[in-house]
Amino acid sequence: MNASGETVLNLSEEDILSYIKNRPPMLMIDNAVVKPGRSSRSKRVFKEDEWFFKCHFPGNPLVPGVLQLEAMFNTAALAIKTLDGLKDKTSNISRIKNVSFNAPILPSDEIVISAEVVKEYRHGIAFFHAEISRVSDDAVLAKADFVLSIPDDMNIIDK
Amino acid sequence: MTNREKYVAAYVEALDVNEGDVEELEYQSIEAWDSVGHMSLIAEIEDAFDIQMETDDIIDLSSFKKGIELLKKYGVEID
């Protein structure tokens, strides 16, 4: 718990793997600090030999936007999957809007991914705003709003 | 804001539709009103009227018009 009495979880990669089903190389975060139901903040350092730099793009390596989104989704999932009873349930991303990629992410960049719950989890869904920023200069590199859903908690209607 | 304006705004926000298109909406009549859209709509309506809907009513809210009828149970009258 922090000074405000909130539960705060410091998660290693091993801990993260127990909460979300992504596995390397599609796990896009290294560690995270999570306030269950409220927010999650994770980190990732992109090594020069990451698999996607070889093909995206030869001679001009950039982190693909789709993987930046995946990093936001991984981070957001932790804020919900750490709530009681949700650890083993499958989560999906069901809506995405207001996506922007403001600047490229390059080999050796260290990024912070922040995901804030903007509408609390209920009826099987939560609304998120997420941002990626670069550690070296705090520049915001990407943003997105999205809905995370847990189909097992929406089972009162068709999934 | 009147109750009708709040109710219409919930559909506009949850389903990304125009105000003028909400009256005839039914569950799954548009792509956005799928299961996730439905739960988004319920959350918007609950927030708009500061209520918590019962499971049976969440299932029964199958159209814009049906929702008006259901909300009476929660003391929400929509003209």
**pLDDT tens by residue, chain A, 159 residues:** 777 788 999 999 999 999 999 999 999 999 999 999 999 999 999 999 999 999 999 999 999 999 999 999 999 999 999 999 999 999 999 999 999 999 999 999 999 999 999 999 999 999 999 999 999 999 999 999 999 999 999 866 654
Indicate if A123 belongs to the active site: no
Say whether A125 and B43 touch across the interface (CB within 8 A).
Answer: yes
Instruction: Kindly report the nearest CA distance between residue A50 and chain B, in angstroms.
Output: 35
Neighbours of B20 (CB within 10 A): 7
Interface contact B54, partner A, CB < 8 A: no
Instruction: Kindly report the nearest CA distance between residue B45 and chain A, in angstroms.
Output: 13
Alpha carbon of A125 to those of A76, A79, B42: distances in Å?
Answer: 12, 12, 11
